[in-house]
Amino acid sequence: MRVVRYAQRWERVCARHGRWALDADADQPLEHLDLRGMPETVAAQRRWSGVARRAARTGTEPGEVFALAHAVVARWWEGAYEWEREEIWPHRLHQAAGGNAGTDLERWRVVGRDAVIFPEVVAVADALLDPVMAQRAWADSGGARPRPLGADGEFCRQLGQRVGRPWLGPLIAVDYAGPLLVWMGTVVRLRRHPEGLAGPYAQFDENLWWVRQEHQPSTMAAQLRVLTREKKMPGSGTNWRAVVDAEQRFTITNLLGEVEEQLQQLRGAQVGKTAEVARSMLEGLSRGSDLLDQVLLRVMVAAVNAGVGLEEVARWARLSADEAAEVLGTCRGADDWYR
């Protein structure tokens, strides 16, 4: 069913009329978006036909490739608030909104997302099917001599260039909890263990195109329902998404992903000489602890900014009110995300 749903997403462009068909089940008045100001989206539809044929020739279901590429780029879309050099998507979104998204930007970010990111989705799908790109992912991992994936990897640098953003590589290379690095990890494992995983992991089949549930982007209808609920209680502090902006939510999610990645690396660390194991585990645990402290601080700041009482925040964080006030006080004026 998921493949069918994603198949419908790449069939939404009507090149003849220059329109993008919208979800029929979404509670909003528009049936389509005008693509006359977005020729790259129409061109991407033609390019997708070739990508789909390429997938089919390799025995891969095109819908699965599209689903993964869409999950990757939709995650970028959520984090693009932090991209100071991003100019393509804002311009394209305003075009989708008829020239200016105006004061209804959040709604247009939901309604226009799939049409705006479609060219990048097709470019990413094409890249993920390219054996040369898979080889770059393998090389970035150290190949037969494993090493952690870094921000300077050739795979992500090339992918940034393919989507017209040469500066993007280092940003997406450190999104450890995202679907792109999950895909890269699967590429590496399949090459490192062509006979399949052994031991307790032998029960798991490696599916290169599998998209975890937490990585599957929300539909337009679901996001609009959330926006509607949030507008009914703005600033009340009873709805996290209503009072914490998308940029901060994305940062918190990314930090938690880095913690998860750090801990996963320690699972198999208890092999080797005592000093080496101890050093590896302690350094990893210390790094994870630092990341958790950052998450703790950001969540505390967000809660206080939303109007939650300091004493409550302190109790939940297992701090005294004085300690919480001191911690939050170090942020005032130091970071623009503390208001």
Give the model's confidence band at 198: pLDDT under 50 very low, under 70 low, under 90 confident, else very high: very low
Range picked from 66-70, 261-265, 287-291 for highest mean pLDDT: 66-70
Neighbouring C-alpha atoms within 13 Å toward the C-beta of 140:
25
Q: Give me the pLDDT at residue 15, please.
A: 72
Tokens of 20: 């993008």
284 within 8 A of 258, measured Cβ to Cβ: no
Give the model's confidence band at 235: pLDDT under 50 very low, under 70 low, under 90 confident, else very high: very low
Q: Which residue has the tokens 């749903």?
A: 5
- Percent of the chain scored above 90 by pLDDT? 35
Instruction: Report whether pLDDT(242) > 70.
Output: no
Instruction: Report whether pLDDT(337) > 60.
Output: no
Instruction: Report whether pLDDT(330) > 60.
Output: yes
Give the model's confidence band at 55: pLDDT under 50 very low, under 70 low, under 90 confident, else very high: very high
Q: Which residue has the tokens 């505390």?
A: 300
Q: Express each pLDDT in 167-182 by its tens digit.
A: 999 999 988 889 999 9
What order of strands is seen across the sheet that includes strand 19-21? Answer: 13-14, 19-21, 32-34
Higher pLDDT, 339 or 314: 314
3-state class (DSSP) for residue 20: strand
Judging by DSSP bridges, how do beta strands 13-14 and 32-34 pair with one another?
Answer: unpaired
Give the model's confidence band at 59: pLDDT under 50 very low, under 70 low, under 90 confident, else very high: very high
| pTM beyond 0.75, yes or no | no
Whole-number Å distance between alpha carbons of 324 and 334: 16
Closest by CA position to 123, among listed 184, 43, 237? 43
Higher pLDDT, 41 or 2: 41
Q: Express each pLDDT in 83-129 by its tens digit.
A: 889 999 999 999 998 888 877 888 889 999 999 999 999 999 999 99
Tokens of 211: 């998209």
Q: Express each pLDDT in 7-18 by its tens digit.
A: 455 567 877 778
67 within 8 A of 3, measured Cβ to Cβ: yes
336 within 8 A of 251, measured Cβ to Cβ: no
Q: Express each pLDDT in 136-189 by its tens digit.
A: 999 998 887 877 777 889 999 999 999 999 999 999 998 888 999 999 989 988
Q: Give me the pLDDT at residue 199, please.
A: 43
Higher pLDDT, 28 or 338: 28
- Percent of the chain scored above 70 by pLDDT? 85
Q: Give me the pLDDT at residue 329, please.
A: 79
Distances (CA, A) of 189 to 26, 76, 99, 205, 266: 40, 24, 46, 11, 17
Neighbouring C-alpha atoms within 13 Å toward the C-beta of 187:
24
Total Cβ atoms within 10 A of residue 279: 13
Q: What contacts 36, CB < 8 A, 6 or more positions away?
A: 18
Q: Give me the pLDDT at residue 332, please.
A: 55
Q: Give me the pLDDT at residue 25, please.
A: 64
3-state class (DSSP) for residue 270: coil
**Torsion angle, CA of 314/305/230/78, rounded to 10 degrees?**
-100
Q: What are the strands, taking DSSP E only, across the chain? A: 13-14, 19-21, 32-34
Give the model's confidence band at 231: pLDDT under 50 very low, under 70 low, under 90 confident, else very high: low
Q: Which residue has the tokens 């208890």?
A: 270
Maximum C-alpha span of the chain: 68
